[in-house]
Structure 1
Amino acid sequence: MSSTQKDQHGARSQRSQEAKKPHRRKGEKTYSCDECGKDFTRGGDFKRHRLIHSGVKPYSCELCGKCFTRAGDLKRHQLFHSGVKPYRCDECGKDFTQIRHLKTHQLIHSEVKPYSCDSCGKSFTHAGHLKTHQLIHSGVKPYSCDLCGMSFNWAASLKTHKVIHSGVKPYSCDECGKNFTQAGNLRTHQLIHSEVKPYNCDLCGKSFTQAGSLKTHQLIHSGVKPYSCDECGKSFTQAGHLKSHQLIHSEVKPYNCDLCGKAFAQNERLQRHLVTHSTLYSCDFCEKTFNDIQYRNIHLLIHTGNDVYCCDQCGKPFTTDVQLKQHMIIHTKERPYKCDLCEKTFKSPYHLKRHQQIHTTK
């Protein structure tokens, strides 16, 4: 058999073998990953995907050291360091380094949320966001903090949480100088200075800068406390409050005082303790002073015979909750009491009435 005949015979044999393979329709996903179950239509895409599970990341960023499995992923990542964001959303003016990020973002403006959670009914624009959300209902929190034992559904949440323990707060508020560990927390905080509070409670009239804060507040009026501590039975309106409380029973105290070395399970308790090194609380009746506001309050019972309500901002005591609420207006920029004659506003009814005497005299 000549070489030409051999080539022709080989070609016919290959066509015959191809004919015996099951016919693959266009768009059909015939390649499936054994590790995660993801399907692919092309063998090349399937091979590239498998690199993710291999753990091999040969492409490293020279600026931040982050590693990638593919060269293309590294190139896309390097756009973040360049600061170039060529893709702009016409709806809101937001810029993006990659066109796929722009397309993903544009779904927010479309308000189309085709992926719905069977457990709670919450809808999402992406299937990936739904999968991430469903971890909440599974109750599985595989990522734990080595410092305080707090657990999280996602690795990214744990990474964000660990910044708290580092003490690094690179984001600073231009208005008041307060520092934050995350840019998102700074943006949320800055709403306080804007004085815009569009979300109002129908039951008590209290206003909030965010819808989430209003929802959290409304739980107080409902009286429902679905989160209960297994150790002591104490109940809470929010899961976050329960988690903070449970640190007391864990005996883990990650928050330390730099001045005396005393350790605390919660940051709030550390902050209250720090005041003892710099502030003295005095009794309004006998001028006796105390390092701890709680001890001062206990002492006040000698004079008043009743429980006292103290201001979190300045420590001033009051005999009733109503008096404390009226006092708290001093620490805000709100001036809810308005004069009908001159449009001038005041923080308390007392100051409004005193002002109105001017018009009466005239």
Structure 2
Amino acid sequence: MIDMENVNHLDTSNTTVFNNIDTVRETDRDEEDVPSETFVKQEPLYRNIPEHSCEICKETFSSEQEVLTHKEMHSGEKQFQCGMCEKSFSQNSHLVIHIRSHTGEKPFHCEICGKSFTDNSNLVVHKRIHTGEKPFRCEICGKSFSNNSHLAVHVQIHTGEKPFYCDICGKSFITNSHLKRHKQIHGGDKLHQCEVCGKTYIDNSQLIIHKRSHTGEKPYHCDICEKSFGKKSNLTEHERIHTGENPFHCEICGKSFTQNSHLVVHERIHSGEKPYQCEICGKAFVSKSDLNRHRKRHTGQKPFKCEICDKYFVCNRYLTKHRRIHTGENIFHCEICEKSFITESLLKRHKQIHSGEKSVKDET
């Protein structure tokens, strides 16, 4: 006979991490749809301990109370409210994690690189960057992912499933963040207005983030270089500079990026899509920043000035490259001969010496 009291006190360090699509961390980063690996479920220790299942999604739990807590996710009921930004959650544990986005508390640390996280599930996923582990595999195309939530979104590409519906026009989307972005088209959903500039937002948390552009508040600090940011998502993107993490991969050529928005722009190189067109000359571009930079050629505007030689540039990126002439900084290194260069294009041209290739410019 099993002593259930002892079972309840057994070591729970041997756990299997499960992933559930939810909206726990929508305030942490705008482009993110689902938190990774929020729930931790104990492996069954005894075959004859009954399991309780959710009749909606069929997931199993060790107690009926866990099922009831889980089902709140399906019902949409969110009774736990944040006193700082008024965001609500279906479970108190999710609220506790969310509050850390306000306090800056990160109690879970990676022993390899020192990066810290608000909850243990994010640490588990992060460690896979170091190990290269991608345990979640698509049964259709074989592509693997470091967490189940990314796999769940990916599978919808194959199935065509778009579970997030706009209640105004009926259009459907793969992810909740895509739906929220779409709803901004319908002006009636913009309920929260900034009293400084009049800009409106769908929910109050977005307005709070926006107001920091007026106040200059930057509550999110990088532990490595102490740079500060107004949005948690911007800090997350910045930290990848230190960790070398590039989690967004192009399925066509395999190139990886620190931000999903950079991947979206890159994929247009393969598709040939150029949605941003110059109204003066009709030339089209893959990104809005490229279009803005191009427009300055028509206006002659060069607002970025080198403080050393007073030379002007149409964009800050060109100025940054130019400054390396003065500083002697060569950040692009050849792994074959270890020679270094100011720009990536110069490095690529140099590598042709090793491969025996000749550039088009050389041939002409």
TM-score by length of 1: 0.48
Q: Which has the higher contact order (CA 8 A, sep 6+)?
A: 2
TM-score by length of 2: 0.48
User: Which structure's CA Rg is the greater one?
Assistant: 1
More helix by share: 1
